[in-house]
Amino acid sequence: MPTLHLEIVTPEARIYQAEVEAVVVPGVEGELGILPHHVALMTQIVPGELRISHEGQQLRMAVGEGFLDVLPNRVLILTDMAIDEADIDEHAAEKAVALAEQELKNTTLSHEEIATVQSSLLRSLAKIRVKRGSHY
Amino acid sequence: MANTRDIRRRIKSVKNTAQITKAMEMVAASKMRRAQQAAMAGRPYSEALHQALLSLRDRVDQECHPLLVQRPVKKTLVLLLTSDKGLCGALNTNVLRDIAALDSSSTVFVAIGRKGAAFLARTGRLMIADFLLPDHPTFLQTKPISQFCLEQFLSGSVDQVNILYPKFINTLVQRPVNLQLLPISIEQSSVMSQSSKTTPFLTHSPSSENETKKDVLETGEYLFEPTPDNVLNAILPYSFHFEVFQKILDERASEQSARMVAMKAATDNAKNLVKDLTLEYNKARQASITTELLEITTAQMALQ
């Protein structure tokens, strides 16, 4: 079976690196499935669910905003967050969502601060979505 | 020969100094570990960002985005990174020495760190802004700084943005580096990623990269989603912001390393000094005892 080299990097560390069969990423224009020999592509990704097919098994991750760079048989994902589904703390994420929603009601925030809170809200929501998705 | 009381006093004061420098060494050592970790952790990401830009190189027109266009350089902005505090050896001096080589009429400065700001004010250079950052800055704290430089560049008041900072090589070696950040030169970033091929952070061997490049050139097709403009508008400023953030972390790691080494040298020197002074003190003491004994015996002999 043909494979492609997938690399996921965040500012904190290199999260994942392996030869995989397929990867599904949340792009700005909807979900994108990447298979080996995909045409070269560059796009932005949004907070959401990332699925990796590796040796017949499926791995799910919550990712944040970032970029996707596809070259034939090499996929590079640059994002500000990438967490394995098993490592997500659902309660902490729910708390973060509640906190962020409350903060957004605060009208004294500057433009920059609102953007920060919003992006952290989207990240937390993505975490919860990925975590809950695995129970069905 | 100095009298014993004076020597004793000096020994005491040198010992006190040694205690202080030793404490500062310990503090710097623990800060250094954190700062080095932070600087190292970001390198794979910065490397990956370079790779992404590299893969853009052959596919976009160099003139299609304002951040890529080379303009004739009339004014240069230099982002100067120095420490806030001294006692870190020759770190700041080495960086500031490089400023002398820059033409003062065509260069404006943005300083991060008190030492650099003070130097610019003293030498009468044109400084348009200075910023202070905590020991462990976050991306959000450094972004307003890079945003300021970006706006200066886009508004046309400067034609080039450089960064001058002490690059962290290892705990003992920090080298001042003057690097062009804007316009984003992808040629240069390719050189940079090649020079860092030797670092253990990189996974792609040069040969595999050449292969992928060849593959792309053969297929000759490259998609941007939604449009090239959208992607470039997002990735180019972001890569600049991240680059500045990464350099600031590097400067912090350099600073703490230099301080630890300087304080270690100071402690060692103080210890040597105490050793020499103790020897001198013992000699003086022995000499005074000998003289006293001589006096007593002479006095006794005179009585007999």
Query: Is there a single domain that holds both residue A102 and residue A74?
Result: no
**For range B105-127, the mean pLDDT:** 91
Query: Residue B177: which H helix or E strand, with range?
Result: strand B174-182
State the pLDDT confidence band at A119, using cuts at 50, 70 and 90: confident
Q: What is the mean pLDDT of residues B197-206?
A: 38
Task: Select the residue from B54, B136, B212, B214 to test the A interface by mutation, using most A Cβ atoms within 10 A.
Answer: B212
pLDDT class of B182 with cuts at 50, 70, 90: confident
As a CATH number, domain B22-197+235-261 is: 3.40.1380.10
Per-residue pLDDT at B62 = 67
Per-residue pLDDT, B206: 43
pLDDT above 50 (res A49): yes
Residue B209 has pLDDT above 60, yes or no: no
The residue type of B255 is E
Question: Residues A9, A15: contact at Cβ < 8 Å?
Answer: yes
How high does pLDDT run on average in chain A? 85
A73 and B CB contact within 8 Å: yes
Model confidence band, residue B220 (pLDDT cutoffs 50, 70, 90): low
Q: Sorting pLDDT into bands at 50, 70 and 90, what band is B198? A: very low
3-state secondary structure at position A39:
coil
Neighbours of B161 (CB within 10 A): 23
Residues A80, A24 within the same domain:
yes
| Residues A79, A16 share a domain | yes
Q: Which of A3-7, A29-33, A109-113, A115-119 has the lowest mean pLDDT?
A: A109-113
Of all residues in chain B, the one with the smallest CA distance to A66 is: B235
β-partners of residue A75 are A6, A70
Same domain membership, residue A108 and residue A56: no
Q: What is the pLDDT of residue B96?
A: 92
Tell me which of B155 and B187 has the higher pLDDT. Answer: B155
Residues 6+ apart with CB under 8 A from B253: B32, B35, B36, B38, B39, B168
Q: Is the pLDDT of residue B202 over 80?
A: no
Say if residue B218's pLDDT is above 80: no
Distance CA A114, CA A103 (A): 9
Question: Does residue A65 contact residue A45 with C-beta atoms inside 8 Å?
Answer: yes
Q: Give me the active site residues of B, please.
A: 88
Please name the residues between 60 and 79 in chain B that touch chain A, using a CB distance below 8 Å: none
Task: Tell me: do A79 and A13 sit in the same domain.
Answer: yes
Q: Are residues A77 and A112 in the same domain?
A: no
* Chain B residue with Cα closest to A18: B203
State the pLDDT at residue B186: 67
Compute the C-alpha angle A69/A36/A85, nearest 5°. 70
What is the DSSP-derived secondary structure letter of residue B98?
Answer: G
Q: Comparing B185 with B287, which gets the higher pLDDT?
A: B287
Q: What is the span of the domain harbouring residue A95? A: 89-132
pLDDT tens per residue, range B230-276? 888 888 898 999 999 999 999 999 999 999 999 999 999 999 999 99
Q: Which of B84-93, B137-146, B188-197, B270-279 shows the lowest mean pLDDT across its residues?
A: B188-197
In chain A, residues with a C-beta closer than 8 Å to the C-beta of B144 are 112
Tens of pLDDT, residue by residue over B9-40, are: 999 999 999 999 999 999 999 999 999 998 88
Instruction: Among A85, A104, A121, give the residue marking a domain's end.
Output: A85
Residue A77 is part of a domain; what is its CATH number?
2.60.15.10
**Domain stop point among A85, A101, A120:** A85
pLDDT of residue B95: 92
Q: Judge: A27–B42 Cβ closer than 8 Å, yes or no.
A: no
Query: Radius of gyration over alpha carbons of chain A, in Å?
Result: 16
Angle at A17 between CA A16 and CA A19, to 5 degrees: 130
Q: Where in chain B is the domain with CATH 1.10.287?
A: 4-19+265-303
Task: At B104, give phi and psi (nearest 5°).
Answer: -75, -20
Question: Which pLDDT value is given to residue A105?
Answer: 82
Do A103 and A125 lie in one domain? The reply is: yes
- Read off the tokens for B142: 């450094």
Using a CB-CB distance cutoff of 8 angstroms, which residues of chain A are in contact with residue B40? none
**What is the DSSP secondary-structure string of B106-165?**
SEEEEEESHHHHHHHHHHT--EEEEE---SS--HHHHHHHHHHHHHHHHTTS-SEEEEEE
Looking at the fold, whether A56 and A106 belong to one and the same domain comes out as no
CA A4 to mean position of chain CA atoms: 19
pLDDT > 90? residue A92: no
Given CB atoms, is A72 within the 8 Å cutoff of chain B?
yes
Q: Cα dist. B82→B16, B79, B128, B173, B202 in Å? A: 29, 10, 16, 16, 28
The structural domain count of chain A equals 2
Per-residue pLDDT, A83? 86
Q: Which CATH class is domain B4-19+265-303?
A: mainly alpha
* A45/A99 same-domain check: no
Is B154 near chain A, with CB under 8 Å?
A: no
Put simply, the answer to whether A43 touches B231 (Cβ < 8 Å) is yes
A interface test, pick of B43, B45, B224 with most A CB neighbours within 10 Å: B45
Name every residue whose Cβ is closer than 8 Å to that of residue B86 and which is 6 or more positions away in sequence. B92, B115
Comma-separated ranges of CATH 3.40.1380.10 domains in chain B: 22-197+235-261
Mark whether A50 and A102 lie in a shared domain: no
How many alpha carbons lie under 13 Å from residue B293 in its C-beta half-sphere? Answer: 6
Q: How far apart are CA B35 and CA B136, in angstroms?
A: 7
Compute the average pLDDT of residues B64-76.
86
